Amino acid sequence: MSADHSDVRAWRLDHRTPLAEGHLLGFLGSRAIAGCEAVEGRRYARSIRMPTGAPAVVEVEPDPSEPFVTMWIRGDGAPGAVERAVRRLLDLDADPGAIDATLGEDPALRSVVLSAPGMRLPGAVDGFEIAVRAIVGQQVSVAGARTTLGRIAQRFGEPLPEPLGTVVRVFPTPARLADAPRDGLGMPRARADAIVEVARAVESGELDLSGEADLTATRERLRAIRGVGAWTEEYVAMRALGDRDAFPVTDLGVRRGFRRLGLPDDERSMLEHAERWRPWRAYAVIHLWAG
Protein backbone atom coordinates (compact mmCIF):
# COMPACT_ATOMS: atom_id res chain seq x y z
CA MET A 1 0.00 0.00 0.00
CA SER A 2 1.18 3.49 -0.69
CA ALA A 3 -0.03 7.05 -0.23
CA ASP A 4 2.25 8.52 -2.90
CA HIS A 5 -0.48 10.04 -5.07
CA SER A 6 -1.22 13.67 -5.86
CA ASP A 7 -4.80 13.41 -4.61
CA VAL A 8 -3.87 12.00 -1.19
CA ARG A 9 -4.54 14.18 1.83
CA ALA A 10 -3.17 13.51 5.31
CA TRP A 11 -4.38 14.26 8.83
CA ARG A 12 -3.16 13.49 12.34
CA LEU A 13 -5.77 12.08 14.71
CA ASP A 14 -4.98 12.36 18.41
CA HIS A 15 -5.85 9.81 21.09
CA ARG A 16 -5.25 9.08 24.75
CA THR A 17 -2.45 6.72 25.65
CA PRO A 18 -1.78 3.88 25.87
CA LEU A 19 -2.94 2.33 22.60
CA ALA A 20 -2.69 -1.43 22.13
CA GLU A 21 -2.12 -0.96 18.42
CA GLY A 22 -0.79 -4.47 17.81
CA HIS A 23 -3.99 -6.04 19.07
CA LEU A 24 -6.13 -3.53 17.19
CA LEU A 25 -4.39 -4.05 13.85
CA GLY A 26 -4.26 -7.78 14.46
CA PHE A 27 -8.01 -7.88 15.00
CA LEU A 28 -8.72 -5.89 11.85
CA GLY A 29 -6.17 -7.82 9.80
CA SER A 30 -7.41 -11.27 10.76
CA ARG A 31 -10.93 -10.25 9.72
CA ALA A 32 -10.04 -8.17 6.65
CA ILE A 33 -12.40 -8.72 3.72
CA ALA A 34 -10.43 -9.54 0.57
CA GLY A 35 -10.62 -6.70 -1.91
CA CYS A 36 -12.00 -4.22 0.65
CA GLU A 37 -9.33 -4.11 3.35
CA ALA A 38 -5.66 -4.86 3.89
CA VAL A 39 -3.07 -4.64 6.65
CA GLU A 40 0.63 -4.30 5.92
CA GLY A 41 2.88 -3.85 8.92
CA ARG A 42 1.53 -0.93 10.94
CA ARG A 43 -0.71 0.39 8.16
CA TYR A 44 -4.36 -0.48 7.61
CA ALA A 45 -6.18 0.46 4.41
CA ARG A 46 -9.78 0.06 3.40
CA SER A 47 -12.35 1.29 0.93
CA ILE A 48 -15.14 3.55 2.17
CA ARG A 49 -18.02 5.58 0.85
CA MET A 50 -18.05 9.32 1.26
CA PRO A 51 -21.31 10.97 2.42
CA THR A 52 -21.98 11.68 -1.26
CA GLY A 53 -21.82 7.95 -1.99
CA ALA A 54 -18.57 8.28 -3.90
CA PRO A 55 -16.00 5.55 -3.21
CA ALA A 56 -12.66 6.39 -1.64
CA VAL A 57 -9.78 4.74 0.18
CA VAL A 58 -8.57 5.59 3.67
CA GLU A 59 -5.28 4.46 5.21
CA VAL A 60 -4.28 4.75 8.86
CA GLU A 61 -1.05 4.15 10.72
CA PRO A 62 -0.40 4.65 14.45
CA ASP A 63 2.68 6.68 15.24
CA PRO A 64 5.28 4.56 17.07
CA SER A 65 6.18 7.24 19.60
CA GLU A 66 3.56 10.01 19.60
CA PRO A 67 -0.12 9.82 20.64
CA PHE A 68 -1.66 10.17 17.22
CA VAL A 69 -2.67 8.16 14.18
CA THR A 70 -1.91 9.41 10.69
CA MET A 71 -4.85 9.18 8.30
CA TRP A 72 -4.58 9.42 4.53
CA ILE A 73 -7.63 9.84 2.28
CA ARG A 74 -7.52 9.16 -1.44
CA GLY A 75 -10.67 10.47 -3.07
CA ASP A 76 -12.89 13.53 -3.05
CA GLY A 77 -15.29 14.31 -0.25
CA ALA A 78 -15.67 15.68 3.25
CA PRO A 79 -12.68 14.69 5.41
CA GLY A 80 -14.61 15.43 8.59
CA ALA A 81 -17.01 12.55 7.97
CA VAL A 82 -14.11 10.20 7.25
CA GLU A 83 -12.28 11.30 10.38
CA ARG A 84 -15.33 10.59 12.53
CA ALA A 85 -15.67 7.15 10.93
CA VAL A 86 -11.99 6.35 11.50
CA ARG A 87 -12.16 7.52 15.10
CA ARG A 88 -15.07 5.11 15.63
CA LEU A 89 -13.27 2.32 13.80
CA LEU A 90 -10.13 2.64 15.93
CA ASP A 91 -11.95 3.73 19.11
CA LEU A 92 -9.69 6.76 19.38
CA ASP A 93 -11.96 8.60 21.80
CA ALA A 94 -11.76 5.88 24.46
CA ASP A 95 -10.36 6.61 27.91
CA PRO A 96 -7.97 3.66 28.39
CA GLY A 97 -6.99 4.76 31.87
CA ALA A 98 -10.54 4.51 33.18
CA ILE A 99 -11.25 1.30 31.30
CA ASP A 100 -8.09 -0.47 32.40
CA ALA A 101 -8.54 0.67 35.98
CA THR A 102 -12.02 -0.82 36.19
CA LEU A 103 -11.16 -4.11 34.49
CA GLY A 104 -7.90 -4.39 36.43
CA GLU A 105 -9.79 -4.39 39.72
CA ASP A 106 -10.83 -7.96 38.94
CA PRO A 107 -8.01 -10.25 40.13
CA ALA A 108 -8.95 -12.82 37.48
CA LEU A 109 -8.53 -10.30 34.65
CA ARG A 110 -5.78 -8.09 36.07
CA SER A 111 -2.80 -9.82 34.45
CA VAL A 112 -4.56 -9.90 31.09
CA VAL A 113 -5.21 -6.17 31.23
CA LEU A 114 -1.67 -5.40 32.33
CA SER A 115 -0.29 -7.41 29.42
CA ALA A 116 -2.24 -5.32 26.88
CA PRO A 117 -2.85 -1.82 28.27
CA GLY A 118 -4.93 0.48 26.13
CA MET A 119 -7.00 -2.23 24.45
CA ARG A 120 -9.46 -0.70 22.02
CA LEU A 121 -12.89 -1.82 20.88
CA PRO A 122 -12.66 -2.24 17.08
CA GLY A 123 -15.55 -0.33 15.58
CA ALA A 124 -16.86 0.30 12.11
CA VAL A 125 -16.89 2.74 9.22
CA ASP A 126 -20.15 1.13 8.04
CA GLY A 127 -22.64 -0.34 10.51
CA PHE A 128 -24.42 -2.30 7.80
CA GLU A 129 -21.17 -4.05 6.90
CA ILE A 130 -20.77 -5.09 10.54
CA ALA A 131 -24.29 -6.52 10.58
CA VAL A 132 -23.51 -8.59 7.50
CA ARG A 133 -20.25 -9.73 9.09
CA ALA A 134 -22.12 -10.81 12.20
CA ILE A 135 -24.76 -12.79 10.31
CA VAL A 136 -22.17 -14.48 8.10
CA GLY A 137 -20.11 -15.28 11.20
CA GLN A 138 -22.86 -17.11 13.04
CA GLN A 139 -21.45 -20.46 14.18
CA VAL A 140 -18.53 -20.40 11.74
CA SER A 141 -14.84 -19.66 12.20
CA VAL A 142 -13.31 -16.24 11.60
CA ALA A 143 -11.48 -17.66 8.57
CA GLY A 144 -14.66 -19.21 7.18
CA ALA A 145 -16.61 -15.98 7.60
CA ARG A 146 -13.82 -14.02 5.96
CA THR A 147 -13.91 -16.29 2.91
CA THR A 148 -17.67 -15.92 2.50
CA LEU A 149 -17.52 -12.15 2.99
CA GLY A 150 -14.82 -11.88 0.34
CA ARG A 151 -17.04 -13.69 -2.14
CA ILE A 152 -20.02 -11.46 -1.31
CA ALA A 153 -17.88 -8.37 -1.79
CA GLN A 154 -16.48 -9.65 -5.07
CA ARG A 155 -19.91 -10.47 -6.49
CA PHE A 156 -21.93 -7.52 -5.20
CA GLY A 157 -19.39 -4.82 -4.35
CA GLU A 158 -18.56 -1.80 -6.51
CA PRO A 159 -15.08 -1.68 -8.08
CA LEU A 160 -12.95 1.29 -7.08
CA PRO A 161 -12.14 3.68 -9.92
CA GLU A 162 -8.57 3.77 -8.60
CA PRO A 163 -7.58 0.60 -6.69
CA LEU A 164 -4.89 0.82 -4.04
CA GLY A 165 -2.86 -2.38 -3.95
CA THR A 166 -5.21 -5.21 -3.02
CA VAL A 167 -7.97 -2.78 -2.01
CA VAL A 168 -10.01 -2.83 -5.21
CA ARG A 169 -13.69 -2.57 -4.32
CA VAL A 170 -16.22 -1.15 -1.86
CA PHE A 171 -18.38 -3.40 0.29
CA PRO A 172 -21.92 -3.78 -1.11
CA THR A 173 -24.52 -1.20 -0.16
CA PRO A 174 -27.78 -2.11 1.58
CA ALA A 175 -29.58 -1.35 -1.69
CA ARG A 176 -27.43 -3.85 -3.55
CA LEU A 177 -27.91 -6.68 -1.05
CA ALA A 178 -31.60 -5.93 -0.54
CA ASP A 179 -32.17 -7.30 -4.04
CA ALA A 180 -29.52 -10.02 -3.93
CA PRO A 181 -30.57 -13.57 -4.83
CA ARG A 182 -30.45 -15.67 -1.67
CA ASP A 183 -28.65 -18.51 -3.40
CA GLY A 184 -25.95 -16.09 -4.51
CA LEU A 185 -24.79 -15.23 -0.98
CA GLY A 186 -23.09 -18.57 -0.38
CA MET A 187 -24.58 -19.51 2.97
CA PRO A 188 -27.56 -21.32 4.50
CA ARG A 189 -30.92 -19.90 3.44
CA ALA A 190 -31.83 -18.61 6.90
CA ARG A 191 -28.71 -16.48 7.11
CA ALA A 192 -29.13 -15.24 3.55
CA ASP A 193 -32.71 -14.24 4.38
CA ALA A 194 -31.48 -12.36 7.45
CA ILE A 195 -28.93 -10.40 5.42
CA VAL A 196 -31.54 -9.41 2.86
CA GLU A 197 -34.00 -8.37 5.56
CA VAL A 198 -31.38 -6.28 7.38
CA ALA A 199 -30.43 -4.69 4.06
CA ARG A 200 -34.04 -3.81 3.33
CA ALA A 201 -34.57 -2.38 6.81
CA VAL A 202 -31.45 -0.20 6.54
CA GLU A 203 -32.26 0.90 3.00
CA SER A 204 -35.82 1.89 3.97
CA GLY A 205 -34.60 3.83 7.00
CA GLU A 206 -36.35 1.55 9.48
CA LEU A 207 -33.01 0.45 10.93
CA ASP A 208 -30.19 2.89 11.64
CA LEU A 209 -26.85 1.18 12.19
CA SER A 210 -24.78 4.35 12.15
CA GLY A 211 -24.41 4.39 15.92
CA GLU A 212 -26.17 7.76 16.08
CA ALA A 213 -29.70 6.46 16.79
CA ASP A 214 -31.16 5.46 20.16
CA LEU A 215 -29.31 2.33 21.27
CA THR A 216 -32.27 0.57 22.90
CA ALA A 217 -34.60 1.20 19.96
CA THR A 218 -31.96 0.09 17.46
CA ARG A 219 -31.30 -3.12 19.37
CA GLU A 220 -35.02 -3.87 19.48
CA ARG A 221 -35.48 -3.29 15.74
CA LEU A 222 -32.46 -5.42 14.92
CA ARG A 223 -33.58 -8.22 17.23
CA ALA A 224 -37.00 -8.29 15.54
CA ILE A 225 -35.45 -9.52 12.28
CA ARG A 226 -35.72 -13.28 11.87
CA GLY A 227 -32.26 -14.82 11.97
CA VAL A 228 -30.76 -12.15 14.24
CA GLY A 229 -30.16 -13.80 17.59
CA ALA A 230 -28.58 -12.67 20.83
CA TRP A 231 -24.98 -13.19 19.65
CA THR A 232 -25.52 -11.21 16.46
CA GLU A 233 -27.22 -8.39 18.33
CA GLU A 234 -24.38 -8.12 20.84
CA TYR A 235 -21.69 -8.22 18.15
CA VAL A 236 -23.38 -5.46 16.17
CA ALA A 237 -23.89 -3.45 19.35
CA MET A 238 -20.18 -3.77 20.20
CA ARG A 239 -18.75 -2.84 16.85
CA ALA A 240 -21.37 -0.71 15.09
CA LEU A 241 -23.55 0.87 17.76
CA GLY A 242 -20.83 1.93 20.19
CA ASP A 243 -22.18 -0.09 23.11
CA ARG A 244 -19.09 -0.42 25.28
CA ASP A 245 -20.97 -2.61 27.74
CA ALA A 246 -22.21 -5.18 25.20
CA PHE A 247 -21.53 -8.74 26.27
CA PRO A 248 -22.04 -11.74 23.93
CA VAL A 249 -22.30 -14.34 26.67
CA THR A 250 -23.02 -17.14 24.17
CA ASP A 251 -19.80 -16.52 22.23
CA LEU A 252 -17.48 -19.52 22.17
CA GLY A 253 -14.36 -17.37 22.40
CA VAL A 254 -15.71 -15.63 25.49
CA ARG A 255 -16.50 -18.96 27.09
CA ARG A 256 -13.01 -20.23 26.35
CA GLY A 257 -11.61 -17.03 27.80
CA PHE A 258 -13.43 -17.61 31.05
CA ARG A 259 -12.10 -21.14 31.12
CA ARG A 260 -8.52 -19.89 30.61
CA LEU A 261 -8.98 -17.54 33.55
CA GLY A 262 -10.09 -20.46 35.71
CA LEU A 263 -13.62 -19.11 35.96
CA PRO A 264 -16.92 -21.02 35.63
CA ASP A 265 -18.08 -20.91 32.02
CA ASP A 266 -21.82 -21.53 32.28
CA GLU A 267 -23.88 -18.55 31.13
CA ARG A 268 -25.29 -17.65 34.53
CA SER A 269 -21.87 -17.62 36.21
CA MET A 270 -20.35 -15.66 33.32
CA LEU A 271 -23.02 -12.98 33.50
CA GLU A 272 -22.65 -12.72 37.26
CA HIS A 273 -18.87 -12.41 37.10
CA ALA A 274 -19.00 -9.88 34.26
CA GLU A 275 -21.06 -7.52 36.41
CA ARG A 276 -17.80 -6.28 37.94
CA TRP A 277 -16.61 -5.23 34.46
CA ARG A 278 -19.45 -2.76 33.87
CA PRO A 279 -19.65 -0.38 32.10
CA TRP A 280 -16.77 -1.76 30.01
CA ARG A 281 -17.76 -5.39 29.42
CA ALA A 282 -17.14 -5.12 25.67
CA TYR A 283 -13.47 -4.31 26.34
CA ALA A 284 -13.21 -7.35 28.56
CA VAL A 285 -14.56 -9.39 25.63
CA ILE A 286 -11.77 -8.06 23.39
CA HIS A 287 -9.22 -9.09 26.02
CA LEU A 288 -10.77 -12.55 26.18
CA TRP A 289 -10.75 -12.89 22.39
CA ALA A 290 -7.15 -11.73 22.23
CA GLY A 291 -6.18 -14.54 24.57
Confirm whether 155 is domain-assigned. Answer: no
In a domain, 218, yes or no: no
Domain that holds residue 61: 8-93
The question of whether 251 is a catalytic residue gets the answer yes
* Annotated active-site residue in 193, 243, 251, 265: 251
CATH code of the domain in which 82 resides: 3.30.310.20
Backbone angles phi, psi at 244, to 5 degrees: -80, 0
**73 belongs to a structural domain:** yes
Per the structure, the count of domains in the chain is 1
**Amino acid occupying residue 220:** E
- Residue 165: the pLDDT is 96
On whether residue 250 sits in a domain, the answer given is: no
Residue 81 lies in a domain: yes
pLDDT in tens, the chain (291 residues): 444 445 788 999 999 999 999 999 999 999 999 999 999 999 999 999 988 889 999 999 999 999 999 999 998 767 899 999 999 999 999 999 999 999 999 999 999 999 999 999 999 999 999 999 999 999 899 999 999 999 999 999 999 999 999 999 999 999 999 999 999 999 999 999 999 999 999 999 999 999 999 999 999 999 999 999 999 999 999 999 999 999 999 999 999 999 999 999 999 999 999 999 999 999 999 999 998
Closest CA to 127 of 219, 35, 52, 250: 219
Secondary structure string (H, E, C) spanning the chain:
CCCCCCCEEEEEEECCCCCCHHHHHHHHHHCCCCCCEEEECCEEEEEEECCCCCEEEEEEEECCCCCEEEEEEECCCCHHHHHHHHHHHHCCCCCHHHHHHHHHCCHHHHHHHHHCCCCCCCCCCCHHHHHHHHHHCCCCCHHHHHHHHHHHHHHHCEEEEEEECCEEEECCCHHHHHCCCHHHCCCCHHHHHHHHHHHHHHHHCCCCCCCCCCHHHHHHHHHCCCCCCHHHHHHHHHHCCCCCCCCCCCCHHHHHHHHHCCCCCCHHHHHHHHHHHCCCHHHHHHHHHHC
Residue 71 in domain: yes
> What is this structure's pTM?
0.95
Q: Is the CB of residue 122 less than 8 Å from the CB of residue 285?
A: no
The answer to whether 77 touches 52, Cβ cutoff 8 Å, is: yes
Tell me how far apart the alpha carbons of residues 22 and 246 are, in angstroms, rounded to a whole number: 23
